[in-house]
Amino acid sequence: MTEQTAEIAALFEQCGFEPNSDFQRDILDASQRFVQVTGGEQGGKSVVASKFLLKRWPSDMQKNPNEGTGEGMPILYWLIGHSYAETEKEFGYISDDFTAIFGEGIVQSTKRIDPGKIEVVFPGERHPRLRIETKSGQDVRKMSKDAPHGIILCEAGQLDIAVFERAQGRVTPRNAWLLNVGTMEESVGWFPMLAAEWASGADDRKSFRLPMYANSSLFPGGRNDPKILDLERNSSDDFFMERVEGIPVPPRGLVFPEFRPDIHISSVERVKGEPVYIWVDPGYSGSYYAVEIANVIDGQVRIFDEIYEKGKITEEITSICMNREWWREPSKYGVADIAVHQHQGMPPMYQVWMSQTGLHMASRKVGIPEGIERMKSFLKIDPITHGPRLIVDPGCRGIISEFGASPNPDDGQLRAYRWGTDREGNVVGRVPKDANNDALKAVTYGLIDRFGYTQNTNRKSIPVRRR
- 376-378-379 Cα angle (round to 5): 65
Instruction: Judge whether 465 lies within some domain.
Output: no
- Distance separating alpha carbons of residues 346 and 340, to the nearest angstrom: 11
Q: Residue 428, Cβ neighbours under 10 Å: how many?
A: 9
Question: Looking at residue 424, what is its pLDDT?
Answer: 66
Residue 33: burial class (beta carbons within 10 Å; 0-12, 13-18, 19+): middle
Does residue 289 sit in the same domain as residue 426? yes
Rg (CA), the chain: 25
Q: What is the pLDDT of residue 236?
A: 85
pLDDT confidence of residue 161: 80
Instruction: Return the CATH number at 93.
Output: 3.40.50.300
CA atoms within 13 A on the CB side of 427: 13
Whether residues 287 and 176 share a domain: the answer is no
> Which pLDDT belongs to residue 1?
46
CATH number of the domain where residue 407 is located: 3.30.420.280
Which pLDDT tens digit goes with each residue over 333-382?
999 987 655 555 556 788 889 999 999 999 888 999 999 999 999 999 98
Write the CA distances from 398 to 99, 202, 272, 413, 419, integer angstroms: 44, 31, 24, 12, 19
Domain assignment present for residue 355? The answer is: yes
Cross-strand bridge partners of residue 279? 292, 335
* pLDDT in the model for residue 458: 47
Same structural domain, 228 and 121: yes
Residues of the chain with pLDDT below 50 are 1, 457-467
Residue 23 inside a domain? The answer is yes
Q: Which pLDDT belongs to residue 467?
A: 42
Domain count, the chain: 2
Task: Say if residue 325 is in the same domain as residue 430.
Answer: yes
Structural domain boundaries, residue 325: 261-451
Same-domain status, 227 and 330: no
Please give the model's pTM, rounded to 2 decimal places: 0.64
**Together in a domain, 343 and 227:** no
Q: What is the per-residue pLDDT for 432?
A: 93
In a domain, 464, yes or no: no
**Residue 186 confidence (pLDDT):** 61
